[in-house]
A and B are shown apart, each in its own frame.
Chain A
Amino acid sequence: MTDLTPVLSATWGLDRSWNFDTYAAHGGYEAATKALTMDKADIIQAVKDSGLRGRGGAGFPTGMKWGFLPEPDGGPRYLVVNADESEPGACKDVPTMMASPHTVIEGMIITAFAIGCDHAFIYVRGEVVHVYRRLMKAVAEARDNGWLGKDIKGTGFNLEITVHAGAGAYICGEETALLDSLEGRRGQPRLKPPFPAVAGLYARPTVVNNVESIASVPPIIAKGVDWFASMGTEKSKGMGFFSLSGHVKRPGQYEAPLGITARELIEMAGGMREGHELKFWTPGGSSTPIFTDEHLDTPLDYESVGAAGSMLGTRSLQIFDETTCVVRAVERWTHFYKHESCGKCTPCREGTYWLELIMRRLEAGQGTMADIQQLLDTCDSIAGRAFCALGDAATAPIISSVEYFREEYVRHVTEGGCPFDRAAAALFDYDSAPEEAHA
C-alpha cells in the first residue's frame, strides 16, 4: 500500500492554521529565508530538477516554464497565481487557501524572487468570500512581518501582492482568459503563441501557475530536490492532492505520491458507501474521460492515466456507484460546458448548444438511436477544432460514457425514460416521485 504524504496539508488541523504565527511556528518562511540567499538561477534549476509539473491540470514542468521567460529588459515581469478552481470535481486549492494561505504567499515570494518579479497577483474565483478574506489577511500579515514591500529582509528585493477576485466564469481558469479578465476584460482565451512567458499580463513576460504548484515550491526549497523526487514515479514526481468526492464513505483531500491508485485511495476513504459498488469515476475532473472499475489499478500519474485513455488533470476523483445514471451525470456536465462556453469560437459555442439539447432529450427518454450517433458526430466536429481546451473537454465525458455505457444510452431510448431512481443515488432519504404525488 502506498503511504499518504501530507506536506501542504500537514498543518491544516492546527488551531488558527491560517495565521502567520502558526505557519511560522511550523517551519513556515524557512524556505523563503533560504531562497533569498540563493542564486536565482539555482532556484529555477532546483524546481526543474525536482520534476515538479503544473498542478493546474496540464502537467507542464514548472521549472521549465519559468525558464522560458526572456532575459530581463528592465521592464516589469509578472507572476499570476491561478486560484480560479472551478473544474467540476476540483476542490483542493480552495481548502489550501482557506487553511494555509501563507503556503501560497511563501511560494509566491520565492517564485517572484527567482523570476525577477516585483508585483504578483492571485486571481481567486469570486464565489468563495471567506477564502478571499483569508488571503487578504495573509498578505497583510506577510507585509507586517517584512515579507512583502520594499527591500525584503534587507536583500533589496521588492514585492507587492494583489489579491484579485473574479466574478464567476469557469473559462477564466484558462490561463490566457484569466489574463484578459485580470486586465478588466471579458474572460476569453487568447491566441497562442505568444505564450504568457513572452507576452502575458499587459503584454509583459508572465508566469501563470496553479495554487498547488506554487505551494509546492517552499517544501522543495526547504527539504530539497531529492526529497521531492523520491516521491512519485519516474516522470510524475512528488506528492499531490487527490480529491475524492461522491459515493465513498470518507470523501476528502488525500495528499499522496503521484502514481497511487484509485483502489488504494478508495480504500483509504473507507470504501464505497455501504452495500454499493463502484460504477464510474473521473480521474481528473469532468474534463477528463471517465474511468470504470477496469481502471482501479491504473497508477495515477500523467503517463499511465494517459495510456489508459484519460488524463490526470487535477486529480479530482468524482466517484459514482451503481445507483447513478451515467446519462444523467453526463447531461449535467454537458450543460455546464454549454453554460461556460465563452462564445469566442463556433465549434464550441454552437456545438455545446447542440450537445446539451441532445443529451437532454436522451436523458428524458425522448431521444432516438440516431441521437446517440449524432452526439458522437457533434463531438467530432468540436474536438480538435475548438479555440481552447474547453471545447475538447465538453466532449470527453460524452465520448467516454458512450464507449463504456452505450447500452445505458440505448435503454433510455428503448424504455422511453431514465431507468434509474434518483432518490437511490442521493445521500439522504426522500420520496422519489413527489411530482406524481402532487399531481
Chain B
Amino acid sequence: MTYDESTAKQLSKDAAEIIGRYPVRRSALLPLLHLVQSVDGYVSPDGVQFCADQLELSSAEVSAVATFYTQYKRRPNGEYQVGVCTNTLCAVMGGDEIWRQLSERVGAGHDETTPDGKISLERIECNAACDYAPVMMINWEFFDNMTPETALQLVDDILAGKDLVPTRGADRVVSFKETSRVLAGFEDGRADEGVSAGAPSLAGIETAKQQGWKGQDK
C-alpha cells in the first residue's frame, strides 16, 4: 500500500468509526468506499486493498461490489461531478438540450473528465426532484429548473474558480472529495445551510392555505 503514514493513520481511524456503526463489519463497505473516494477522488487500487484489509475480504470481493454502484468511480474523478438528468421527464422538459450544449461546451461526453481534472460529466438518472425539472446535480447538490444558459454559466463559474450555490443545498458546493467524506457519514457542519424546501415542495400547502383547507386539524 502506498498511503503515506499520516493518511494511513487517518484512514484507519475513520474506518474504525465507520465499522463501529454496524453490528456486522461488512456493512461498512459502502461507506468505506465513499471514504476512499474522499481521499483518492476515485476507488483506487490502494483504496480497494484498504477496504479489503479492514473488512477481511479479498480485493476481488471489494471490486465486485464497487463496480456495481454508479457513484464509485474507476478513474480519477473531476473536482466537480456535473450530472444532467436525462431520464424521461427531465429530458423532455429540456434536459436533452441542456446535456447537448453542456457536453459541447465542456468538450466531454458521458462519464468523461476534462484534462485539467476540473469537471466530470455524467448523464444521470432520476434524482427525485421531478417537480423541479429540468434538474442538474453538481457533487450531488440540487440545481433546479435549469436552462442551457444557467447550465453553461455554472461551467463558466467552475472554470473561473467561483463558488457554486445550489438551489436546495449547502451555501456552496464542496469538492467531490469533500462530498464523498460526508457520504461516508462524517458531518461537515453544513446541515443548517440552505432552504428547507423550494416552491414546488410547498405548492400543496400554499394551495391549501389559499383555499382555507385545514386537513391537518380535522
Tell me which of B34, B125, B182, B216 contacts A6 (CB under 8 A): B216
In the complex, how many residue pairs between chain A and chain B have their CB atoms under 8 Å apart? 288
Q: Is B39 an interface residue (CB 8 A)?
A: no
Q: Is B185 an interface residue (CB 8 A)?
A: yes
23 A-B pairs within 8 Å (CB atoms) are namely A4-B213, A6-B205, A6-B208, A12-B205, A87-B126, A88-B130, A94-B128, A119-B23, A130-B194, A165-B184, A166-B71, A182-B27, A186-B68, A243-B130, A244-B131, A250-B200, A250-B207, A252-B199, A252-B201, A254-B203, A255-B205, A268-B207, A318-B89
Q: Interface residues, chain A, CB within 8 Å of chain B?
A: 3-7, 9-10, 12-19, 76, 85-91, 93-95, 98-100, 119, 125-130, 132-134, 136-137, 140, 162-170, 181-187, 202, 227, 230-231, 239, 243-247, 250-257, 268-269, 286, 316, 318, 320, 324, 328-330, 332-333, 336, 339-340, 342, 422-423, 425-428, 430, 434
> Within 8 Å CB of B47, what residues of A?
none
Instruction: Let me know if B92 and A165 touch, CB within 8 A.
Output: no
Instruction: Let me know if A125 and B200 touch, CB within 8 A.
Output: no
Q: Is B96 an interface residue (CB 8 A)?
A: yes
Q: Is B188 an interface residue (CB 8 A)?
A: yes
Tell me which of B29, B137, B182, B192 contacts A127 (CB under 8 A): B137
Q: How far is the CB of A133 from chain B (nearest CB, A)?
A: 4
Instruction: Let me know if A125 and B207 touch, CB within 8 A.
Output: no
CA distance A409 to B7 in the complex (A): 58
Instruction: Let me know if B196 and A17 touch, CB within 8 A.
Output: yes
> Within 8 Å CB of B130, what residues of A?
88-91, 243, 245-246, 251, 316, 318
Instruction: Let me know if A166 and B69 touch, CB within 8 A.
Output: yes
> Within 8 Å CB of A7, what residues of B?
215-216
- Supplied contacts A94-B129, A133-B188, A243-B131, 4 more A-B pairs, CB within 8 Å: A90-B128, A164-B30, A166-B69, A333-B88
Say which one of B8-16, B113-121, B154-162, B166-174 lies at the interface with A: B166-174
Instruction: Let me know if A252 and B87 touch, CB within 8 A.
Output: no
> Within 8 Å CB of B30, what residues of A?
126, 164-167, 181, 184
Name the residue on B nearest A129 (C-beta). Answer: B140
